[in-house]
Chain A
Amino acid sequence: MKAVDRQVTFTVVLFVVLLFIPTFASQYIINIGFMVFLYAFLATAWNILGGYAGQHSLGHGLFLGIGAYVSTYLFVSAGITPWLGMWVGAVIAGVTGWFIGYLCFRYGIKGAYFALVTIALAEAAVYVATNIQAIGGAGGLEVPWKGNNFWIMQFGSRTGYYYVALVAAFLGVLLTLWIARSRFGYYLISVRENEDAAEALGVNTMKAKLMAITLSAFMTAIGGTLYAQYFTYMNPRSVFGEGPSVQILLFAIIGGIGTVWGPAVGALILVPIAEITRAELSGSFAGANLLIYGLILVLVMLFMPKGVLGILGSLGKGKKNSPGEIGHEPVGSK
């Protein structure tokens, strides 16, 4: 218990420190800060399902897109503030996630097959959105600028968005901290580690997985609204597509999946690298930034297959709270 309190304290202190960054940092740094928090939050959401419950979704863009499109559509067509639309999108994404989970888990789809189903559904969403003219079809949707106004989540400077994303990431980490120490969290881990054994010990594995995917989808959609408000433009490919889906899970994998801080650490490492290499290199050597980014990913995967935190965890030789290996296949008892 003490360890948890220390972690909560650390989280709160870090949050407070980060609140002061905008008072002296440039807009460029604040921009990077926003992206770090947004992706930390999204990867944290993915981590609940992928890291703790061990169900690797490669299609979280589906939920991101639902969040982005729903809040923006409500804002554009009915003037509903994204602060409200955000929750509508989250509920729709949560229900969608639950339904996908129900179909998959009901029929025992897991592992690579679950990943394939999620890719397929996110890809299908690209085409569905492309064919709905009410939400802009292939042209996408734009968030109209209505002036600096907190109540419609629009800010004149990047600092406002920075704070919103910071709060989201902060709450996401706190939630994960709670999950990691709760019965729910242990149930998710037991499902990941060995589903048959979990069932035999009284774990309702179906319910645990459904709760994980619902919560994960719900949170991802909230991230989708933040994404839409910040970038003010989306099209089907940019949110539902494989790009965001893969990015979200990269942060979690690089940081260390199934750990509380892994996704945030992953975002903290990768986002600045991506931004800086793009800023420095995209002018002179087009594509070189992507090459370097890819190289870093390969190196991390080679030398730290459990992610950055996974390595630290095993150096500290194994205390609690570090159940973090992916790809362990349960020994079936069929």
Chain B
Amino acid sequence: MSLLEVNSLTKYFGGLVAVRDLSFQVEEGMIIGLIGPNGAGKTTTFNMISGFILPSSGTVRFKGETLNGMKPHEVCAFGLARTFQIVQPFPEITALENVMIGAFVHYHNTTDARRKAGEMLKRVGMARRADTMARDLPLLELKRLEIAKALATEPQILLLDEVAAGLNAVEVEEVLDLVKDLNKDGITFLLVEHVMKVVMSLSHRIVVLNFGEKISEGTPQKVSHDPQVLKAYLGEEVLVA
């Protein structure tokens, strides 16, 4: 049984189909990439999985239980955490306190939550920023902070929405290493990405969306040579390996 199963997920916004009949699975320990051009329905899919919007039809199953109708906070407590495409810090509190909010899911007492948050900040290489107000952090560190916050909820699967967006090449590399490390520690990932390098080098399998529909799925090699993908997403040019 897969950790996460998406079955025939469909979302209409009025007359517009954002996602149509989308099915895929994420097995435990994998890193799965979800790619597609702008407006392909990637973030909508994320929002449906994490409970932020209700699907028009279809189901999401996680650890064998259906998530449909669960609130985002329930989904999170159940072991599925997400980050946002645009970083969403709590600006007027410190980095440590930001992470504590996530830690409180499992650690109800402030002392325990603070300790857990400290560990998570260290895990993403931000221990020395613990007392900095989140509004004073640069983008790279805000991205790391997002990951630390999500990790503090002790998820089994982590959904990252464009974690590399807005970062320069060196910073992207750093975030990639972090994701690889965390994956080695046993966390499963579902990535939405625009930066091709990220998905190609990181993902065990890739799902390609276009206009809300799945047009291809397979290993990075397979997908990157799929003519349909090349046509829809990458233009007619050959993908850089």
Contacts and interface: CB of A to CB of B under 8 A. Distances in A.
B113 A201 contact: no
A181 B113 CA distance: 11
Contact of A196 (B84, B101, B111, B153): B84
Interface string A73-105: 000000000000000000000000000000000
A319 interface: yes
- Identify whether the interface residues of A are mostly helix, strand, loop, or mixed: loop
Q: Closest 8 A-B residue pairs measured CB to CB? A: A193-B90, A197-B88, A202-B105, A202-B76, A199-B72, A201-B102, A190-B101, A323-B92
Interface string B136-167: 00000000000001101100000000000000
11 contacts: A182-B110, A186-B100, A190-B101, A193-B90, A198-B73, A199-B76, A201-B73, A204-B71, A204-B73, A324-B92, A333-B52
Contacts of B111: 1
A331 interface: yes
A146 interface: no
Interface string B102-144: 1011001111010000000000000000010100000000000
B93 to A, nearest CB: 5
A183 B73 contact: no
A200 interface: yes
B94 interface: yes
A187 B88 contact: no
Contact of A200 (B76, B113, B131): B76
Contacts of A183: 104, 108-110, 113
Interface string B69-82: 00111001100011
A205 interface: yes
A194 interface: yes
Counting chain A residues whose Cβ lies within 8 A of the other chain, the interface size class is 20 to 34
Contacts of A206: 71
Contacts of B102: 201-202
Nearest to A193: B90
A319 B76 contact: no
Interface of A: 1, 181-183, 186-187, 189-190, 193-194, 196-206, 318-320, 323-325, 328, 330-331, 333
A272 B177 CA distance: 61
A122 B150 CA distance: 40
Contacts of B59: none
A333 B88 contact: yes
Given A1-B111, A333-B86, A328 B91 contact: yes
Contacts of A181: 110
B45 interface: no
Nearest to B106: A202
B222 to A, nearest CB: 32
A183 B102 CA distance: 11
A99 B164 CA distance: 43
Contacts of B89: 193-194, 197
B92 A197 contact: no
A204 B84 CA distance: 18
A5 B50 CA distance: 40
B45 to A, nearest CB: 14
Contacts of B88: 194, 196-197, 200, 330-331, 333
A32 to B, nearest CB: 34
B73 A199 contact: yes
B110 A196 contact: no
A324 B81 CA distance: 28
B213 interface: no
A171 to B, nearest CB: 21
A325 B105 CA distance: 25
